[in-house]
Chains A and B, each alone.
Chain A
Amino acid sequence: AQSVSQHNHHVILSEAASLELGCNYSYGGTVNLFWYVQYPGQHLQLLLKYFSGDPLVKGIKGFEAEFIKSKFSFNLRKPSVQWSDTAEYFCAVNNGNTGKLIFGQGTTLQVKP
């Protein structure tokens, strides 16, 4: 069965620090990969996605993620975080056939001003 593992449950950073959130998935076939973000009091929204092509994908608000197929990983990065990046971040995959998303358990990011 597909599964997604996020390594960090709670991350605390100061503004301007660099961010990397780990995500690993287990599935041997074609996958599509996503990062969703949930800001306090708001809906889940898509941050970025990877379907094919360049394994380095760029999303909104300066976020990027790199798909490394050999490591089954899709880590999220941002060079310099801002206080407004405080949110919960979810990595998710689907199997390339249907839209059903398998989510990781989420990482809470707290950015101190």
Chain B
Amino acid sequence: EAGVAQSPRYKIIEKRQSVAFWCNPISGHATLYWYQQILGQGPKLLIQFQNNGVVDDSQLPKDRFSAERLKGVDSTLKIQPAKLEDSAVYLCASSLADSSTYEQYFGPGTRLTVT
């Protein structure tokens, strides 16, 4: 079974530029999560999708971050404009359903450096 795919793996941009990350979840997984992991901290949920609907985006900085999951499969996360403090690893995870007992499978992450 293929895992969660993410691209790009690394990205370096200057502040005020825009950037987009892509995630392809495990086939059949209805729930998709985007987490932000700043160096030295644990991952923090940015947004959770159930199929193509948003379940939780309470910690997404909506003035600069946006995410979509068209057709309920792939998802993109965008930052525009980027700030220095956005430097982090952006993790995508998926699970079978929006249930607290379902295991989340994580992708390799995209390491973003904002200079």
Residues of A within 8 A of B (CB): 4, 32, 36, 43-46, 49, 51, 90, 92, 94-106
Beta-carbon nearest neighbor of A42 in chain B: B108
Within 8 A of A (CB), among B93-115: 93, 95, 98-104, 106-109
- Chain A residues closer than 8 Å to B100, beta-carbon distance: 32, 94-99
Q: How far is the CA of A49 from the CA of B44 in the complex (A)?
A: 19
- Chain B residues closer than 8 Å to A32, beta-carbon distance: 100-101
A-B contact pairs, 13 of them (CB 8 A): A43-B108, A44-B43, A44-B106, A90-B42, A92-B42, A96-B100, A97-B100, A98-B99, A99-B48, A99-B104, A101-B45, A102-B45, A103-B42
Q: How far is the CA of A100 from the CA of B34 in the complex (A)?
A: 10
Closest 4 CB pairs between A and B? A103-B42, A44-B106, A94-B100, A43-B106
Beta-carbon nearest neighbor of A52 in chain B: B101
Q: Across the interface, do B98 and A99 meet the contact criterion of CB distance under 8 Å? A: yes
Q: Which of A4, A100, A104, A106 has the most CB of B within 10 A?
A: A100
Beta-carbon nearest neighbor of B107 in chain A: A43
Q: Across the interface, do A99 and B31 meet the contact criterion of CB distance under 8 Å? A: yes
- Chain A residues closer than 8 Å to B102, beta-carbon distance: 99
Residues of B within 8 A of A (CB): 3-4, 31, 33, 40-45, 48, 55-56, 91, 93, 95, 98-104, 106-109
Q: How far is the CA of A102 from the CA of B48 in the complex (A)?
A: 13
With both chains docked as a complex, state the minimum distance between the C-beta of B44 and any C-beta of chain A, in angstroms.
7
Q: Across the interface, do B101 and A51 meet the contact criterion of CB distance under 8 Å? A: yes
With both chains docked as a complex, state the minimum distance between the C-beta of A45 and any C-beta of chain B, in angstroms.
7
Partner of B95, one of A43, A45, A99: A99
With both chains docked as a complex, state the minimum distance between the C-beta of A98 and any C-beta of chain B, in angstroms.
6
- Chain A residues closer than 8 Å to B48, beta-carbon distance: 98-100
With both chains docked as a complex, state the minimum distance between the C-beta of B10 and any C-beta of chain A, in angstroms.
13
Partner of B41, one of A44, A46, A105: A105
With both chains docked as a complex, state the minimum distance between the C-beta of B15 and any C-beta of chain A, in angstroms.
26
- Chain B residues closer than 8 Å to A51, beta-carbon distance: 101
With both chains docked as a complex, state the minimum distance between the C-beta of A108 and any C-beta of chain B, in angstroms.
10
- Chain A residues closer than 8 Å to B55, beta-carbon distance: 98
